[in-house]
Structure 1
Amino acid sequence: MKTNDYPLTQEEVDRFRSRNYNDDLLPKTQDKRNMGVKNFFTLWMGSVHNIPNYTAVGGFIFLGLSPINVMLAVALSALFVSAFMIFNGKAGSKYGIPFAMHLRSTYGDLGAKLPGFLRGGVAAIAWFGLQNYTGSLALLVIIGKIWPGFLAIGGGTEILGIGIPGLISFTIFWALNVLIGLGGGGILNKFTAVLSPLIYVVIGGMAVWALRAAGGIGPILAYNISDATSSINPIWAYLIIFNSVIAVWAAPGASVSDFTQNAVSTKAQMVGQTLSLMVAYLMFAFSSVVILIGGSIHYGIQEWNILNLIERWDSFPAVILAMSVFLLTTISTNATGNIIPAGYQLTALFPKHLNYRSGVLIASVISFLIMPWKLMANADSIFIFLNAIGAVLGPVAGVMIANYFFVQKENIDLDALYMDVDKDNAGNPYHGVNKAAYIATIIALVLSLSGQFIPALKGISDISWFVGFATGFGIYLLLPKATSKAVTTKQVENQ
């Protein structure tokens, strides 16, 4: 892959700003890009070692694979994730553009609004609220262990359908997440730089504990689950694990340009993200299986919720430290995958009225008002809704990558992309809706969701992200793309 970056000048940025674009949507010149290999290396560490990911590994064990095969499948998943992140992040690192403009280069200025809203305005805000609530439950445990009387505040009285201690815990944790979101990439870089070494220490310590508690690595690798799905084809089990892992990255991977636009170079984001995800998943693959199985052996139960295992520990300081690290990883995941994209997307939808910070505040308030604790009370409707939102992101990513690499040939005409919003843009190739992109996305979305409604196609549900991505990618390349070819030609002529 070529990594020669576009030599953006301040004169170009000033010209685009005069066309009524705020600073959050403008491309970044080299002097404003501050994320090197080290920054990208630490960026995703917290997003890998989070509570839902550890719980998912318990589900992988139930597929019937041996523990060593679960480790191998999870580790190999990093290859798919890192490839997805660096390829879809190249437009951002080459041109310094955020996801909103990367999306516009694929779907058109009007066409980008729907997938952008689904990514940043719906999925991100909903997940931000839900992850805040999940994290607040862990915070509630910590507060309760330090101050047991806290759990009795209000005597069972509920406000908005939640107990007073729970509401206080949620508000505190929500506020912490909002502060990180307001700080944007700069604060997040510092936060992840401190968090990543702490993760290594705590997770490494937990793995050592689990090995000792289980009597060594032998009993862990020999562990069998009696009610596992032993009849499943091992190759299919591997594909299910690959799909589950990469599906976690469907949202941040689609909007990864919001981070790669800050890369000092395309090479830096490629090397940094690859090392980050490979190292993180190698450690995660080993530690998750060892901790969950080792703890289950030690306590004589099958326990796949890592927080429940931590609560059983006798050491109070160890419980507080481990729970705190998982809380911090939730904040990191929430920032990178939810509130930062939400802030940028609301800015893109209302560029004359909002900037990044006001977008973050609006998204944060909405995430509180939707009362995620009530959404959590009906798990089926939540996951049907969120899975539907997530399913569209596989096709979107497939179309975006197909468009950038095979239609545009890695060339974007910035002057056309940052069109004058107050003029007639009828002749602009990025104006309106890219119908081919929409057709490919819709067909791929229908196919990726078909397993939910057609029993004969149930298997598609297990690999829905891959189906959606591949279908969107393939169909888009087969459809007429005269508009995109015109963009490529114009860009080449300008260079």
Structure 2
Amino acid sequence: MTQNNVFPKNPPSINLDLLPTKPENRTWSFSHYFSVWMGSVHNIPSYVTIGGFFALGLSTGQVFAVIACAALLVAILLVLNGHAGNKYGIPFSILLRASYGGKGAILPGFFRGIVAGIMWFGLQTYAGSIAVSIFIGTFFPGFLTLGGNFDFLGLSLPSLLSFGLFWLINILFIFADVNTLGKLTKTVTVLVFVVFGGMSLWSIQLAGGIAPILAFEPAGSRNVSLFLLISCVSAIVATWVAPILSVSDITRYSRSDRAHSAGQFAGIAATYLLFALASISIIIGSEIAFGVPVWNVLEVVDKFDSVFAVILSLTTLALATLSVNIVGNVIPAANQLTSLFPDKLNFKKSAVAVALIGVVLLPWKLMENATSIFAFLNLVGALLSPVIGVMLIHYYFISKKRIDLDTVYGLPGKQPAAPFQLPALLATVLAGGLSLLGSRIAALEVFYTMSSLLGIAVSAVLYISFYWVQTVFIQKQLK
């Protein structure tokens, strides 16, 4: 088996951007991984989700328990699926080939990198542009009314300018190196703890102390079922399905296994602890103080009296959105495009293509309709969560954490990977199909409601079962 430290230098017919990471490029330490997912937790959709839990009747304690359980699951899955990236230095698009085969990897890779990655890039860019508009409007109020009735495919002139500006900032970071990205995530960490910690204190003060927040119980909270609580955990995990899948895209830069595993686990734990405190205190504190819960953190910022607090908060939200956009969307999408067209594209060309397609899809149109956003999330979750189950079973139980790089890269003169791994593809399609059918068939609704959790579990069981059947069949054929 060829390891990444003895992998042939500049092998022919392989895109250089997809080769195992060189030792000198493994620069990320514990602090990088501690901070890398800050923007994935503290964003507008996350706070709206927690508001939805209270609307469903969950109490303060129940919401905290849901967040804690989801955070633990997310941290474990990130660490487990990130091990191969660190050990072999390979990106997600190459790692997929180990369990799905050379051509079979195209399907799950397409949905993760192209569909989820590009669509999320557009949505996050538009979300960040809203903060940019408010930021500019704070200094130049006339900016918000610029252009009058001007309309470009549903965007006013201020919105169009803010979107273009934030899009260009994303492009600048695309052309920066991985160390620059690491510095960005570290900066975001400090700002997140300052800003959202401050929001928590402000909300607690509004509510008259911590006691009223802890005692808050919405109508119907005592009748919440265990099924509903598990569904809420699944809803949080669903927002992490794509990053969990492609986490090897960043763990391949880790100095050691401990750096990424301890860093991600501690980072997720600390970030979600702050998130639980901030989201619960902001939503309940505003309801106690104003009679109406504030679910959108931008509305919280709008209530600040201090211009400095407004600027700091908006800057934090924009930078957090930027960091997760590059790490969680651009990198996996660009790597997948490069893997599909290795002779024509490199990482930077693919990343620019991702950014351009993300604009063409008109993401602000998708955000106009909450139903369409949830339909998109459910579709992606149903298709991608089974891939996590397959990858984990293959890496830890079938291959025993061993990957033959000659095979997955298809080096000339070496034994190539099988084009398709039928057990993996069948398990993915069947588990995903159950989740999608659950949206139409009442008897299968549980698979749709908890698609992220059940998708992983069901695909894992199906994959190891199909793999065993295939192994037995092959052995009989050889006798």
| Contact 2:58–2:217, Cα closer than 8 Å, also in 1 | no
Task: State how far apart, in whole Å, the 2-side matches of 1:90 and 1:62 are.
Answer: 38
Matched, 1:401 2:396: no
Matched, 1:69 2:62: yes
Task: State how far apart, in whole Å, the 2-side matches of 1:75 and 1:6 are.
Answer: 40
Structure 1 range deviating more: 401-410 or 376-385:
376-385
Task: State how far apart, in whole Å, the 1-side matches of 2:38 and 2:376 are.
Answer: 28
Cα deviation, 1:48-83, whole Å, max 9, x if unaligned, reads 111111111111122322212211221232210011
Task: State how far apart, in whole Å, the 1-side matches of 2:200 and 2:230 are.
Answer: 26
Task: State how far apart, in whole Å, the 1-side matches of 2:159 and 2:127 are.
Answer: 11
Identify the residue that residue 299 of structure 1 maps to in structure 2: 290
| Aligned residue pairs, count | 472
Task: State how far apart, in whole Å, the 2-side matches of 1:312 and 1:118 are.
Answer: 40
Identify the residue that residue 223 of structure 2 maps to in structure 1: 231
Cα deviation, 1:407-432, whole Å, max 9, x if unaligned, reads 111111112222136x7x8x53x230
Q: SS in structure 1 opposite 2:147?
A: helix
Structure 1 gap segments, 5+ residues each? 486-495
Matched, 1:439 2:426: yes
Letter in 1 for 2:132: L
Instruction: Give the CA deviation at 1:311.
Output: 1.1
Kindly report which structure 2 residues correspond to 1:318-333, keeping only aligned pairs within 5 A, or say none: 318-333=309-324
Structure 1 range deviating more: 206-215 or 313-322:
313-322
* Residues 1:420 and 1:139: Cα distance change in structure 2 (over 3 Å): same
* Residues 1:378 and 1:300: Cα distance change in structure 2 (over 3 Å): closer
Letter in 2 for 1:60: F
| Contact 1:391–1:448, Cα closer than 8 Å, also in 2 | yes
Letter in 2 for 1:469: I
Structure 1 range deviating more: 139-148 or 275-284:
139-148
Identify the residue that residue 81 of structure 2 maps to in structure 1: 88
Output the TM-score relative to the length of structure 2: 0.94
Task: State how far apart, in whole Å, the 2-side matches of 1:259 and 1:121 are.
Answer: 18
Identify the residue that residue 277 of structure 1 maps to in structure 2: 268
| Contact 1:451–1:460, Cα closer than 8 Å, also in 2 | yes
Identify the residue that residue 34 of structure 1 maps to in structure 2: 27
Q: SS in structure 2 opposite 1:160?
A: coil
Structure 1 range deviating more: 25-34 or 167-176:
25-34
Matched, 1:264 2:255: yes
Identify the residue that residue 337 of structure 1 maps to in structure 2: 328
Task: State how far apart, in whole Å, the 1-side matches of 2:418 and 2:404 are.
Answer: 13
Cα deviation, 1:158-204, whole Å, max 9, x if unaligned, reads 12332111100110111112222332532210101111011111111
Q: SS in structure 1 opposite 2:323?
A: helix
Task: State how far apart, in whole Å, the 2-side matches of 1:19 and 1:141 are.
Answer: 50
| Contact 1:13–1:27, Cα closer than 8 Å, also in 2 | no
Identify the residue that residue 8 of structure 1 maps to in structure 2: 4
Identify the residue that residue 369 of structure 1 maps to in structure 2: 360
Output the TM-score relative to the length of structure 1: 0.91
In percent, how many aligned pairs have the same letter? 41
Q: SS in structure 2 opposite 1:154?
A: coil
| Contact 1:346–1:354, Cα closer than 8 Å, also in 2 | yes
Letter in 2 for 1:39: H
Cα deviation, 1:78-131, whole Å, max 9, x if unaligned, reads 210011001111111111111011011111111111111111111110111111
* Residues 1:484 and 1:242: Cα distance change in structure 2 (over 3 Å): farther
Identify the residue that residue 144 of structure 1 maps to in structure 2: 137
Supply the RMSD in Å over aligned alpha carbons.
Answer: 2.1
Cα deviation, 1:360-387, whole Å, max 9, x if unaligned, reads 0011011112222223334433432342
Matched, 1:461 2:448: yes
Instruction: Give the CA deviation at 1:458.
Output: 2.4
Letter in 2 for 1:94: K
Identify the residue that residue 450 of structure 1 maps to in structure 2: 437
Cα deviation, 1:137-165, whole Å, max 9, x if unaligned, reads 22212222221111222111112332111
